Amino acid sequence: MSYQVLARKYRPANFEELEGQEHVRRALVNALEQNRLHHAYLFTGTRGTGKTTIARIFAKCLNCDRGITSTPCGECGSCLEIAEGRSVDLIEVDAASRTGVDSTRELLDNVQYMPTRSRFKVYLIDEVHMFSTSSFNALLKTLEEPPEHVKFLLATTDPKKLPVTVLSRCLQFNLKNLPPERVVNYLTTVLDKEQVVYEPSALWQLGRAADGSMRDALSLADQAISFGENQITDEAVKAMLGSIDQLEIYQIIHALIKGDGTALLAQIARMGEYAPDYAGLLADILSLLHRVAVAQTIAEGVDNSQGDREAVMTIARDLSREDVQLYYQIGLIGQRDLALAPDPRTGFEMVMLRMLAFVPNVQRSPEVVSEAMDPVKKPERAAAGSPMVDKAQSEAPSVPVQQTPNTPGPRAIVVPAVSEPVSEWGSSEPAVSSREAIMPSSDSTPKAPNADVIKIVPLAVEHWAEILVELGLSGVTQSIAANCELVAVEHGVCHLVLKAHHATLWNKTHEDRIAQSLARLYDTEITLALTVGETVGETPAEVAQRHRDERLAMAVVAIDSDAKLKQLIDNFDGTLDRDTIMPRNQSGD
Query: How far is Cα 16 from Cα 70, in angstroms, rounded to an integer?
Result: 10
- 3 state SS of 204: helix
What confidence tier does 218 reach under pLDDT thresholds 50, 70, 90?
Answer: very high
Mean pLDDT of 380-403: 39
Residue among 163, 170, 155 nearest 138 (CA): 163
User: At a CB cut-off of 8 Å and minimum separation 6, what does 169 contact?
Assistant: 40, 140, 143, 144
Q: What's CA 545's distance to the chain center, in Å?
A: 39
Q: Which of 25-29, 86-90, 282-286, 497-501 has the least mean pLDDT?
A: 497-501
pTM: 0.53
Query: How far is Cα 245 from Cα 517, in angstroms, rounded to an integer?
Result: 35
pLDDT tens for 79-131 read: 999 988 889 999 888 887 777 778 788 888 888 889 888 899 999 998 889 88
Q: What is the pLDDT of residue 585?
A: 60
**Domains plus CATH for the chain?**
6-174 (3.40.50.300), 180-241 (1.10.8.60), 246-357 (1.20.272.10), 366-541 (3.30.300.180)
Mean pLDDT of 56-82: 91
User: At a CB cut-off of 8 Å and minimum separation 6, what does 224 contact?
Assistant: 202, 206, 232, 236, 237, 240
- Cβ atoms 496, 461 nearer than 8 A: no
Q: How many CA within 13 A on the CB side of residue 202?
A: 24
Give whole-number Cα distances, 494 to 401, 490, 530, 561, 569, in Å: 16, 7, 8, 47, 55
Q: What's CA 497's distance to the chain center, in Å?
A: 37
Asked whether the predicted pLDDT for residue 160 surpasses 80, the reply is yes
Q: Which of 227-231, 274-278, 338-342, 470-474 has the least mean pLDDT?
A: 274-278
Q: What is the pLDDT of residue 410?
A: 39
Mean pLDDT of 236-261: 83
Q: Quickly count: other Cβ atoms within 10 Å of residue 309's Cβ.
A: 15
- 3 state SS of 309: helix
φ, ψ (nearest 5 deg) of residue 42: -120, 125
For the chain, the average pLDDT equals 79
Mean pLDDT of 196-205: 87
Mean pLDDT of 427-437: 37
Residue among 230, 224, 189 nearest 10 (CA): 189
What confidence tier does 63 reach under pLDDT thresholds 50, 70, 90?
Answer: very high
**Identity of the residue numbered 482:** A
pLDDT tens for 299-310 read: 777 777 666 788
Query: How far is Cα 381 from Cα 365, in angstroms, rounded to an integer?
Result: 16
Q: What is the pLDDT of residue 42?
A: 94
Q: What is the pLDDT of residue 209?
A: 85
What confidence tier does 278 reach under pLDDT thresholds 50, 70, 90?
Answer: confident
Q: What is the pLDDT of residue 440?
A: 36
pLDDT tens for 541-587 read: 888 888 888 888 888 888 888 888 888 888 887 887 777 877 766 54
pLDDT: which is higher, 245 or 261: 261
Q: What is the pLDDT of residue 305?
A: 60
The dihedral sign for the CA sequence 507, 510, 516, 519: negative
Asked whether the predicted pLDDT for residue 390 surpasses 70, the reply is no
Q: What is the DSSP letter of 373?
A: H
Asked whether the predicted pLDDT for residue 426 surpasses 80, the reply is no
What confidence tier does 423 reach under pLDDT thresholds 50, 70, 90?
Answer: very low
Query: How far is Cα 508 from Cα 476, in angstroms, rounded to an integer?
Result: 13
Asked whether the predicted pLDDT for residue 411 surpasses 50, the reply is no
Mean pLDDT of 152-176: 91
pLDDT tens for 328-363 read: 999 999 989 888 999 999 999 999 999 988 765 444
- Cβ atoms 64, 76 nearer than 8 A: yes
- 3 state SS of 201: helix
Percent of the residues in the chain that have a pLDDT greater than 70, as a whole number: 81
Residue among 262, 224, 263, 260 nearest 243 (CA): 224
DSSP string, 219-277: HHHHHHHHHTTSEE-HHHHHHHHT---HHHHHHHHHHHHHT-HHHHHHHHHHHHTT---
Asked whether the predicted pLDDT for residue 417 surpasses 80, the reply is no
Q: What is the pLDDT of residue 228?
A: 85
Query: How far is Cα 307 from Cα 297, in angstroms, rounded to an integer?
Result: 20
Residue among 209, 201, 302, 315 nearest 252 (CA): 315
Q: What is the pLDDT of residue 60?
A: 92
- Cβ atoms 459, 492 nearer than 8 A: no
Mean pLDDT of 137-165: 89
Mean pLDDT of 354-383: 48
User: At a CB cut-off of 8 Å and minimum separation 6, what does 489 contact?
Assistant: 397, 399, 459, 460, 461, 495
Asked whether the predicted pLDDT for residue 241 surpasses 90, the reply is no
User: For every residue of 53-106, which 3-state class applies, written as one string?
Assistant: HHHHHHHHHHHCCCCCCCCCCCCCHHHHHHHCCCCCCEEEEEHHHCCCHHHHHH
Q: What is the DSSP letter of 505?
A: G
- 3 state SS of 215: helix
pLDDT: which is higher, 246 or 470: 470
Q: Which of 110-114, 268-272, 412-416, 474-478 has the least mean pLDDT?
A: 412-416
Asked whether the predicted pLDDT for residue 1 surpasses 80, the reply is no
Give whole-number Cα distances, 68 to 22, 59, 71, 119, 123, in Å: 20, 10, 9, 9, 17
The dihedral sign for the CA sequence 468, 469, 471, 473: positive
What confidence tier does 156 reach under pLDDT thresholds 50, 70, 90?
Answer: very high
Q: What is the pLDDT of residue 431?
A: 38
What confidence tier does 453 reach under pLDDT thresholds 50, 70, 90?
Answer: very low
